[in-house]
Amino acid sequence: MTSRDYLTIDDFDVDGKTILVRVDLNVPMDPEENILDDMRIKSHIPTLKDLEDARVVLLAHQSRAGKSDFTTMKPHAKRMSRYMGKEVEYVDDIFGSHARSRISSMQKGDVILLENVRFYAEESLKRPAKEHSHTHMVKKLSPLMDIFLNDAFAVSHRSQLSITGFTEILPSGAGRVMENEITSLDRGLKGSECPCIFVLGGAKVDDSLKVAENVLSNGSADRVLLTGIVGNVMLSANGVDIGKVNMDFIGSLGYLDQIERGKQILDEFDGKIGLPIDVALNDDGKRVEVQVDELPADGFPINDIGLESIVAYSKEIRNAKTVVLNGPAGLAEKDSFALGTHEIIKAAVHSEYSIAGGGHISAEIRNLGYDDRFSHLSTGGGACIDYLAGMTLPGIKSLKDAASRYRHNQ
């Protein structure tokens, strides 16, 4: 029996069992429903390989109602079949008689992917796990299942039906993606290999500040280096006039109130937070570098950190034993303003243990071909930043609650 406070595949006898697995196959797709990036699909293959002697029923979603890529799971089953080397059968039903009949006739080794769970309106309602367990989906599917596995870390910050509902009814555990996310992110949060540095950027200012407060107050991080929009907010909090265009942009994102909060954080963690000393302005597409104390009042948008900041940050990162990156340093999708993000990524691979959050920073790491050089690339954007901020993720809490019940009944 594992010493973890949740169960994994290793805690169950899966041979010949029917196992419901919630996976995250939500991928970028073009208007013709072609998959543009299948990283998330590939990430679940280790889980499925470890269940090859079971009957595996997959639950997943693609996009959400109202979006152009809100479509069926048929392309996902086809792509997953390619990676599995055998058919992953698409079933165009979630819990109706067609789906239940197909599940009942499954043979050992079969893998089926049910229809997009978000086609069922109740999936997206945020409710306690106990309430979700009384829905038609859970009542119809759970009698056909022996075990539920949550392998969808990236959606586990949402209290949604397919994430928490089955954990109330079935013996439940974490798939390999979920297990790896918890283990790897915990290692970054414990900061056991010091110095430990967090580099936070991107546009989610309030979330990034929560992470900074969490890791500095509990001693996980020795230093937090700030870039991106969060860096601009904190420059303003530190008394720097970042110019009207940048203040207006922060206002348009609804983050002006974070400046006052930033002042308190700078006071509380004096010397623990690194801010840019120069930035790169976007002058009609041209990169113009300027010291932060020389920013023009009516100037241009700040779209990256400057070269001096890149050199200083890179030196700190290279000397760290643990590095956690979340969010890009600037407008990384534009070549002229990708320098900060790319140099920080290159510096991070020199640390003994390197973690990158999901979303834009992971995409840039893969674009550079550095994904194999990171210790861990998270599959989750919002879920990762919530976890690093010390927040409770409903999907993980429900697994821990299920583990407690399971062990009590053994």
Any binding-site annotation on 381?
no
Residue pointed to by tokens 């089953």: 77
CA-CA distance, 94 to 116, in Å (whole number)?
Answer: 7
Any binding-site annotation on 360?
yes
Count the alpha carbons within 13 Å of 162 in the hemisphere toward its beta carbon.
28
| β-strand pairing of 278-283 with 286-291 | antiparallel
Q: Is the separation of the CB atoms in 231 and 255 below 8 Å?
A: no
Any binding-site annotation on 26?
yes
Any binding-site annotation on 187?
no
Any binding-site annotation on 61?
yes
CA distances from 173 to 217, 282, 365, 386 (A): 31, 48, 30, 21
Any binding-site annotation on 157?
no
CA-CA distance, 62 to 58, in Å (whole number)?
Answer: 13
Any binding-site annotation on 64?
yes
What residues form DSSP beta bridges with 274?
Answer: 225
Q: Strands of 302-305's sheet, edge to edge? A: 286-291, 278-283, 302-305
Alpha helices in 201-330 (DSSP H): 205-217, 228-237, 244-252, 257-268, 307-319
Q: How many residues does the chain have?
A: 410
Any binding-site annotation on 223?
no
Written as six digits, the tokens of 315 are 């030196």
CA-CA distance, 155 to 168, in Å (whole number)?
Answer: 18
Any binding-site annotation on 63?
yes
Any binding-site annotation on 218?
no
Any binding-site annotation on 357?
no
Q: Specify binding-site residues for ATP.
A: 333, 358-361
Q: Specify binding-site residues for substrate.
A: 24-26, 40, 61-64, 118, 158
Q: Specify binding-site residues for (2R)-3-phosphoglycerate.
A: 40, 118, 158
Q: Specify binding-site residues.
A: 24-26, 40, 61-64, 118, 158, 333, 358-361
